[in-house]
Structure 1
Amino acid sequence: MPVFRYAILKNGARKTGRLTAASSAEATQQLRADGATVLNIREAPAGAAGENALIRRLAKYLVSSAELELSFRQLASVLAGDVPILLGITTVGEQCSPALRSAYARIHDRVREGSALSVALQEHAPFVGRVSIGLVQVGESNGTLDRMFAYASELMERARRLRGDLLQAFSYPAFVVVAGMGVAWFMATKVIPKVMVFIQGRQGSAGRLPPITQALLDVTAFVQSYGLYILAAPIVLAILFVLSRRQRGSGETVDAWLLHIPLLGGTFRAHANTMWCRTLGALLGSGVGIITALELVENTMGNWHYAAQFRKMRQQVREGRSLSTAFEQTALAGLCPMARAMIAVSEQSGGLDSSLMQVADYYEDLLQRRVKLLSRLVEPVMYAIVGGMVGFVYFAFFMAMMAANRAAN
């Protein structure tokens, strides 16, 4: 459909924007239905539709999680104040970035045409995530749309903070490792060769170099000969790692291995356990059915191995088994032992959603403590490694100097 640019006067303020309609008359009618006075409306150039299509395709990357959280929190506030949904979408959308504002404009038009808000979100803003869309669908069915937007915003915020914690846990170690490799490379290619030329000049033909000095020369020669391959190896491994995680089969194998890496595996498990416990607890507490909730959690897990366990658990619950029994039959029983006991007790006594939230709080606290532990461990370890390299070079240098002095005497 054509894209129209408009200028309107609404609530005493002049506003501009775009909308899609079959004709200018229909576009004018839509704007007036919102209580706006149309000042100007005209069809946008042909490139405008293409521009909108490009923004739509890139919206997933242009819209930040923080902006999405804020817009959902604003929607929750305006809806709690009994503001009509169409007016609420317009009000919130006008305060967003171009990409999100464009998405809200399309959602507004779709809802105006009679579509459910959850359907409009799925069509025009799938980047909000299936869990958020599922919560909106529940809110539409039971009249708690404001609460569901608040729940969705809270889940997004917690997920963003967890990602930040995980990034913090591994960004500093990665930086230190790269810096250590840079120091080693500089020493092997610049410092050591010059030192060895000086030593060999003092040594002359008086005798062989000490074993430790010869070992240093051999290592330096190896790095100079194969240094590019050494640098390329981590890059190739990283590319292979990313490609392997794009497929379900290889991704499950890689992710299962990541969960059991010494020291790091516990951090990955704490992050995943926090995410699924909080998401499942929020969904169940919002009235989502257990089968639907398990499916939504499966589709939001960033770890293939965890997703496979939820797929297996969902199938068993569909066949009539209890959630606790199905949980016991998956690897989750070993990956999240606290949830195993809580689910078994809560199924009998009720309050499964609150129990899962308590488990999520425990693992979130555990994740933060592991992040601090990693930060504290990496620095002294890397100091020891870099210091060891420098000490090795100095020791080899002085051993060679002593040998040269003995030969000269």
Structure 2
Amino acid sequence: MFCPQCGTEQEESEECIACGVVFAKWGRPSSAALESRETASASDDPSVTQIALDEAMVRIRESWEKTPLLPIGGISRREVRVLSDNLARLIRSGVSIREGLMTLANSSSSTVREHLIQINQQLESGASLAESLTAHGALYSPAHVALVHAAERSGKSYEAFESIRDDLDLREEQVRELRKHLTYPGILLVLWFVMAPVGELVTGGSVFSYLVDVVTPILSIWLTWWGVRFALHLIPKEVRAGERLQNLLWLMPLHLGDAYRAHVRANFCRCLSRALSAGLPLYESLRISAEATGDGYTVESAERIRVQIQSGANLSNAMAGTRLIPAGELMSISAGERSGELDQAFDQLANHFRAELQSKLAVTATAVGVVLSAALLLAIASSIVGGYTQALQGSLEQLSPHGQ
């Protein structure tokens, strides 16, 4: 017999000699996907499913690289969040995916409606939901598609869209937190631009010159911001997220590096939990989850973990040789292996890393706000002192005998 978790071949027994999983607790029926109306047209052959998923992940990354030249328009994160939330509600209530897509398409914007109609057509032609989403990178990322694929295998597609909704809610909350901490430095920056040229206006300068002095730096910052975004959109995404940059982010100290690591770990653990609960083999689940993160170090670590498991190590010991999961969190994986609840263990880890990400970003945003505020206050004080010094020197020159 073969262990359903690590794939080790052994004689008939109640638990695996390699990873220690209890078969009676681990074994779960994997035929739920066949009973789901949404996945009735998908292939039942695991090898065919794996090939289709590999091709799907390649297609969605190619779709992500086809970004517009100008960073304007597109589909907002808010609209994708509303779409995911309502689609999860419809599927949970018993509405088929195709019917739910068309229901939401009728009340969506023209851009989203076009995507939903195309997805529905691909479903009609026999593709699975995850495969249909791969050609629409504007809607869902590779990590989100991996969640949908795993949820389809368990016959609970609505769980994937609920997870996507929660993920988008978290990102929106992080953006709001960042904006909140950067509002005060932004106000100081504008006040600096407004107050710095006041001296020349008071001493007889023209109003037009004052307005030019105020508008020019603000316009320069605005043009620089859009210029950087335009330049980034000209660079392929795979170059922007290169392996060297990812390794640098993994090694980066302080809260910025912690936030990136927590982001990758949360996506990895969430996808791995969904894949294991869907009944996918451990090897396949590790690879899918690692590739869904788009992080080169995570993919490399997952391959090393797979090799060590094949050599007889259990999952927690194999992960201990990498930085993928912190040492303090490996106890949850060990307990999950032994109890046969590995999917729940990774789900709890995903929640933990998501909360850690939110905390690190909040601290980082606060630190950035404080640094910017201090720098702007020093600049304003320096400008005021410089203005008074110049005026004082002019007065002294007028009072001096040589000035007369």
Q: TM-score, normalised by structure 1?
A: 0.59
Bigger strand share: 1
Is 2:265 the partner of 1:265?
no
Cα distance in 1 between the residues matched to 2:112 and 2:228 = 36
Partner of 2:244: 253
Counterpart contact for 2:259–2:357, Cα < 8 Å: yes
Letter in 2 for 1:160: L
Highest Rg: 1 or 2? Answer: 1
**1:233-382 maps to which residues of 2 (within 5 A)?**
246-248=237-239, 251-258=242-249, 260=252, 262-301=254-293, 307-319=295-307, 320=310, 322-333=314-325, 336-382=326-372
Please say if residues 294 and 314 of structure 1, whose CA atoms lie closer than 8 Å, have aligned partners that are also in contact.
yes
Check 1:337–1:65 CA distance in 2 against 1; reply closer, same or farther (3 A cut).
farther
Superposed CA offset, 1:370-400 (max 9, x none): 3443454454444433322222233334445
- Alpha-carbon distance change, 347 to 90 in structure 1, aligned in 2, over 3 angstroms: same
CA RMSD between the two structures: 4.5
1:160 Cα offset (Å) = 0.4
- Larger helix proportion of the pair: 1
Amino acid aligned to 2:297: Q
Q: Distance in 2 between matches of 1:263 and 1:140?
A: 36
1:324 Cα deviation after fit: 3.1
- Give the match for residue 75 of structure 2: 61
Shift of 1:312: 1.2
Which stretch has the larger CA shift, 372-381 or 359-368? 372-381
What amino acid is aligned across from residue 384 of structure 1 in structure 2?
A
Unaligned runs of 5+ in 2: 1-66, 206-212
Q: Alpha-carbon deviations, 1:143-201, whole Å to 9, x = none?
A: x53xx22211122112202321332343345555555555555566x346568999xxx
Q: Is the 8 A contact 1:295 1:310 kept in 2?
A: no
Q: Identify if the C-alpha distance between structure 1 residues 396 and 120 changes in structure 2 by more than 3 Å, giving closer, same or farther.
A: closer
Could you tell me how far apart the structure 2 residues matched to 1:380 and 1:119 are? 44
Distance 2:97 2:321 in 1: 44
Please tell me whether residue 121 in structure 1 is matched to residue 132 in structure 2. yes
- State the SS of the aligned residue for 1:361: helix
- Alpha-carbon distance in 2 for matches of 1:150, 1:110: 19
Separation in 2 of the partners of 1:111 and 1:250? 32
Contact 1:244–1:250 (CA<8 Å) still a contact in 2? no
1:69-128 Cα distance to aligned partner (Å, 9 max, x none)? 13431342243xxx5665555555555544444555455555555x14337624765644
TM-score, structure 2 normalization: 0.59
Tell me, in whole angstroms, the C-alpha distance in 2 between the residues paired with 1:103 and 1:373. Answer: 38
- Residues 307-351 of structure 1 show CA distances to partners (whole Å, capped at 9, x for unaligned) of 212211332344325433443343424xx4444443344334432
Aligned-partner Cα distance in 2 for 1:104–1:241: 28
Deviations 1:6-43 (CA, angstroms, capped at 9, x unpaired): xxxxxxxxxxxxxxxxxxxxxxxxxxxxxxxxxxxxxx
CA distance in 1, matches of 2:136, 2:351: 30
Amino acid at match of 2:172: G
CA distance in 2, matches of 1:93, 1:405: 73
Q: Percent identity?
A: 18
Structure with more relative contact order (C-alpha pairs < 8 Å, separation 6 or more): 2
2:75 partner amino acid:
Y
Residue in structure 1 matched with residue 386 of structure 2 by the alignment: 396
Gaps of 5+ in 1: 1-56, 199-222
CA distance 1:172–1:61, shift in 2 (3 Å)? same
SS at match of 2:322: coil
The amino acid that maps onto 1:309 is Y
